């Protein structure tokens, strides 16, 4: 995965609470078996009318937010189905950061697994971000969000910070060392037969 | 002073004790994938291979089981292809427990988890589906994971968990005959909100739970997902033992919380005060007493899903529909073919058909808007399912009211939202 350091971009304000994963990527696209190319279906029913033409009023279609890498959303983002396609679609569309007051648990974990940084902030900070017009900078190393009149810290578990900063695929990393881990475990068992 | 969830996670990670927020590396006893998460997991396998990981076997294929439920019977060509992919997957990796659609036993994964005793008390069970929580009603730690995490468990047999805090919901007394577990869990979600249990466990107990059947308990744990919970759980008792014994499972190690188990918070409910309710569009937390919405016209009633099409759900619906006819399009889709058969043997299917209802095959179907009766623009449905987000059951401008099987059946008879007590 691409290492994550600083992201600077205009932030797309998605002013909705309880955005569930079926809004992020509707069920009809789950049947596809590849892991890439889901970006075109992101927020499909909100982005497009039934005849396929873009809905001009939807924030992602606004010219101002094209190329945005930061998504702002209201409380409980990513609730509902556990589909990892939601994280895949957001990433493929170009989002690397999602800022909200809270995330659903499975979605939150799925983000880190795919190189997206989900950030929990307080309600006042989120409101300020929604109101800001300029670019926003997310600095992972210093755990900071900066923008016009905004300079706040955010919390992240050290494990996830390391994974994102180094662009590690933690599962691949662990599995690549699986043989060594197994060898260690079995030699350990031989030495301590009762502990197995 | 450990509660059941802490004790299960301690045992699974080889520790004497754990506390909320501890991170443990737990051995997983069972893993489930279905026709959406299975292909998703295979996509993750492909990516891992590209990163140099050799994947030629699973950690333990005996711990893995597979269901076909979302897009079956094959909704279209891609769905059909996914089932072929799933079949190849179980063949390639030597997985014996694959519930193939149209062959012996089949149905919705969460229903098979208890109907086939795939998961046992005291176990750690994970699945590639958010409603994996359901099976916690048997006294297991049961949680849904994303595809990458499921892939990891399949290959490694273990997974990291942060030990969740537990919210304890105590039901005092027996639910009245017109109220069901569905009314209780909707009431709770209305009270605590759709993120009220975010990364927490919801445990249910009290005399009302002891009185409640295993199938009704499963409705409670199933919808803990809608409150954002990591898992839902109920301590196993004689009813669970009997339920599992009827399904041939007697060999397991139960886990119980200590008598002085600690909970982050305890909520108490008086069972006699639980009334028939519905959750209005577009969130399971928009809960109203059914009677307050009795003038709401409906286009359709849907009695299906892992939440609301177990045998007792069908019995409840049949109690209402017996000798009556429906006024709106109504579908009944039993959650597994074994339940369909029992319903047939008990005469329930005849009652449904006499009432003019369409009886369909077991599938997630329209619950997740996949197929088999999805909703058109502006259509209004009353449903025994678990979610009513925009577009969940079809068109993004359709509307779903969540309700118990009693309320859904009574509403099917009148064509409007109806409290079963008000049915003439």
Tell whether A149 is covered by a domain.
yes
Judged by CB atoms closer than 8 Å, whether chains meet at A33 and B370 is answered as no
Task: Establish if A106 touches chain B: CB-CB under 8 angstroms.
Answer: yes
The CATH number covering residue A41 comes to 3.20.19.10
Which chain B residues touch A171 with a CB distance below 8 Å?
A: 44, 48, 148, 151-152
Proportion of chain B in helix, strand, coil states, percent, rounded to 5: 40, 20, 40
Q: Does B45 touch chain A if contact means CB atoms closer than 8 Å?
A: no
Q: Is A186 exposed, middle or buried (0-12, 13-18, 19+ CB in 10 A)?
A: exposed
| Angstrom distance (rounded) from CA A111 to CA B276 | 38
- B residues 277-336 near A, CB within 8 Å? 283
Tell whether A190 is covered by a domain.
Answer: no
Model confidence over B207-250: pLDDT tens digits?
999 999 999 999 999 999 999 999 999 999 999 999 999 999 99
Q: How do the pLDDT tens digits run along chain A, 196 residues long?
A: 788 989 999 999 999 999 999 999 999 898 776 667 899 999 999 999 989 999 999 999 999 999 999 999 999 999 999 999 999 999 999 999 999 999 999 999 999 999 999 999 999 999 999 999 999 999 999 999 999 999 999 999 998 999 899 888 767 777 766 666 666 655 654 444 443 3
Query: Given CB atoms, is B151 within the 8 Å cutoff of chain A?
Result: yes
- Separation in Å, CA of B142 to nearest CA in chain A: 13
Peptide bond into B73 cis (omega under 30): yes
Query: What three-state secondary structure class fits B66?
Result: strand
Average pLDDT over residues B139-158: 96
Residue B369 contacts A, CB cutoff 8 Å:
yes
Q: Which residue on chain B is closest to A76 by alpha carbon?
A: B195
Q: B124 Cβ partners below 8 Å, 6+ apart?
A: B8, B9, B12, B26, B27, B28, B29, B30, B140, B141
Which domain does A37 fall in, by range?
6-168
Residue of A19, A20, A24, A31 to mutate, testing the B interface (most B Cβ within 10 Å of its Cβ) = A31
CB atoms within 10 A of CB A49: 11
Burial class (CB in 10 A: 0-12, 13-18, 19+), B382: buried
End-to-end CA distance of chain B: 51
Separation in Å, CA B256 to CA A159, B67, B221: 32, 29, 17
Q: Does residue A119 contact residue A7 with C-beta atoms inside 8 Å? A: no
Spatial distance between the Cα atoms of A125 and A127, rounded to a whole number of angstroms: 5
pLDDT at residue A192, as a whole number: 43
pLDDT digits (tens, 9 = 90+) for B50-82: 988 999 999 999 999 999 999 999 999 999 999
Burial of residue B141 (number of CB atoms within 10 Å: 0-12, 13-18, 19+): buried
CA torsion through residues B359, B360, B362, B363, sign? negative
Count CA atoms closer than 13 A to B310's CA, side-chain side. Answer: 26
CB B240 within 8 A of CB B247: no
**Tokens matching residue B88:** 């190849």
According to DSSP, residue B31 is labeled E
| Structural domain includes residue A96 | yes
Interface test with B, best of A37, A81, A196 (most B CBs within 10 A): A81
pLDDT for A195 equals 36
The ranges assigned to domains in chain B are 4-250+261-269, 277-422
Nearest to A80 among B36, B79, B130 (CB): B130
Task: Say whether B37 and A27 touch across the interface (CB within 8 A).
Answer: no
Which residues from chain A sit within 8 angstroms of residue B370, using beta carbons?
Answer: 27
Strand partners, A48: A54
A22 in B contact zone (CB under 8 Å): yes
The band of B109, judged by pLDDT with boundaries at 50, 70 and 90, is very high
Q: Is the separation of the CB atoms in A91 and A113 below 8 Å?
A: no
Contact B36 A30 (CB under 8 A): yes
Three-state secondary structure string covering B128-197: CCHHHHHHHHHCCEEEECCHHHHHHHHHHCEEEEECCEEEEEEEECCCCCCCCHHHHHHHHHHHHCCCCC
B238 token code pair: 């004689």
Residues sharing a CB contact under 8 Å with residue A178, sequence separation 6 or more, in sequence order: B155, B156
What is the model's pLDDT at position A183?
Answer: 63
- Residues A55 and A36: their CA atoms lie apart, in Å, by 24
d(CA A21, CA A38): 13
Is residue A2 helix, strand or coil? coil
Name the superfamily (CATH) of residues B4-250+261-269: Aconitase, domain 3 (3.30.499.10)
B376 touches chain A (CB under 8 A): no
Q: Which residues are B26's β-sheet partners?
A: B159
- pLDDT per residue over B348-402, tens digit each? 999 999 999 999 999 999 999 999 999 999 999 999 999 999 999 999 999 999 9
pLDDT above 90 (res B303): yes
Q: Could you give the number of structural domains in chain A?
A: 1
- Cα A186 to Cα A177, A190, A193, distances in angstroms: 14, 6, 10
| Residues recorded for chain B | 424
pLDDT of residue B424: 86
Residue with tokens 């529909």: B321
CATH architecture label of B277-422: 2-Layer Sandwich (3.30)
Q: Say whether B277-422 and B4-250+261-269 share the same fold.
A: yes
Residue A79 φ then ψ, to 5°:
-75, 175
- Residue in B51, B71, B129 nearest the CB of A169: B51
């Amino acid at each position: 995965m691409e290492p994550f350091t600083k992201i600077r971009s205009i932030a797309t304000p998605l002013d909705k609470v309880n955005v569930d994963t079926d809004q992020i990527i509707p069920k009809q696209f789950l049947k596809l078996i590849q892991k890439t190319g889901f970006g075109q279906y992101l927020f499909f029913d909100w982005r497009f009318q039934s005849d396929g033409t873009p809905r001009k009023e939807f924030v992602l279609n606004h010219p101002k937010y094209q190329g945005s890498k930061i998504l702002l959303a209201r409380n409980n983002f990513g609730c509902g189905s556990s589909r990892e396609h939601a994280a895949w679609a957001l990433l493929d569309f170009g989002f690397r950061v999602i800022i909200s007051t809270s995330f659903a648990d499975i979605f939150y974990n799925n983000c880190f697994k795919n190189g997206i940084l989900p950030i929990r902030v307080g309600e006042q900070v989120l409101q300020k971000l929604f109101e800001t017009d300029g670019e926003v900078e997310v600095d992972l190393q210093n755990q900071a969000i900066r923008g016009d009149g905004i300079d706040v810290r955010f919390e992240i578990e050290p494990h996830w910070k390391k994974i994102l900063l180094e662009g590690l695929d933690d599962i691949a990393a662990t599995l690549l060392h699986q043989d060594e881990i197994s060898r260690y475990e079995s030699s350990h068992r031989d030495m301590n037969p009762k502990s197995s | 002073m450990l509660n059941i969830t802490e004790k299960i996670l301690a045992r699974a990670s080889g520790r004497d004790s754990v506390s909320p927020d501890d991170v443990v590396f737990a051995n997983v006893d069972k893993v489930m994938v279905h026709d959406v998460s299975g292909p998703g997991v295979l996509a993750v396998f492909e990516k891992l291979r590209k990163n140099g990981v050799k994947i030629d076997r699973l950690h333990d294929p005996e711990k893995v089981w597979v269901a076909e439920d979302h897009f079956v019977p094959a909704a279209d060509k891609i769905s059909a292809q996914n089932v072929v992919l799933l079949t190849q997957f179980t063949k390639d990796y030597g997985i014996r427990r694959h519930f193939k659609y149209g062959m012996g036993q089949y149905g919705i994964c969460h229903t098979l988890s208890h109907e086939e005793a795939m998961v046992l008390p005291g176990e750690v069970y994970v699945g590639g589906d958010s409603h994996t929580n359901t099976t916690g009603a048997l006294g297991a730690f049961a949680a849904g994971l994303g595809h990458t995490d499921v892939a990891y468990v399949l290959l490694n047999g273990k997974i990291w968990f942060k030990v969740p805090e537990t919210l304890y919901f105590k039901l005092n007394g027996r639910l009245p005959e017109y109220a069901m577990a569905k009314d209780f869990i909707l009431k709770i979600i209305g009270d605590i909100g759709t993120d009220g249990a975010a990364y927490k466990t919801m445990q249910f107990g009290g005399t009302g739970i002891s009185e409640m059947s295993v199938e009704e308990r499963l409705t409670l744990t199933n919808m803990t997902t809608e409150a954002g919970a990591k898992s839902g759980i109920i301590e196993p008792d004689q009813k669970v033992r009997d339920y599992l014994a009827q399904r041939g499972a007697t060999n397991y190690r139960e886990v119980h919380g200590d008598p002085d188990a600690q909970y982050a918070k305890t909520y108490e409910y008086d069972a006699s005060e639980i009334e028939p309710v519905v959750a209005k569009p577009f969130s399971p937390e928009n809960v109203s007493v059914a009677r307050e919405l009795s003038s709401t016209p409906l286009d359709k009633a849907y009695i299906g899903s892992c939440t609301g099409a177990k045998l007792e759900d069908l019995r409840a619906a049949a109690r209402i529909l017996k000798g009556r006819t429906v006024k709106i399009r109504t579908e009944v889709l039993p959650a597994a073919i074994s339940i369909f058969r029992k319903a047939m043997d008990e005469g329930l299917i005849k009652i449904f058909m006499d009432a003019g209802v369409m009886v369909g095959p077991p599938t997630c179907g329209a619950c997740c808007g996949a197929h088999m009766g999805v909703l058109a623009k502006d259509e209004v449905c009353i449903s025994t399912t678990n979610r009513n987000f925009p577009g969940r059951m079809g068109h993004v401008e359709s509307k779903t009211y969540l309700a118990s099987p009693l309320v859904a059946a009574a509403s099917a008879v009148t064509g409007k939202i109806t409290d079963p007590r008000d049915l003439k």
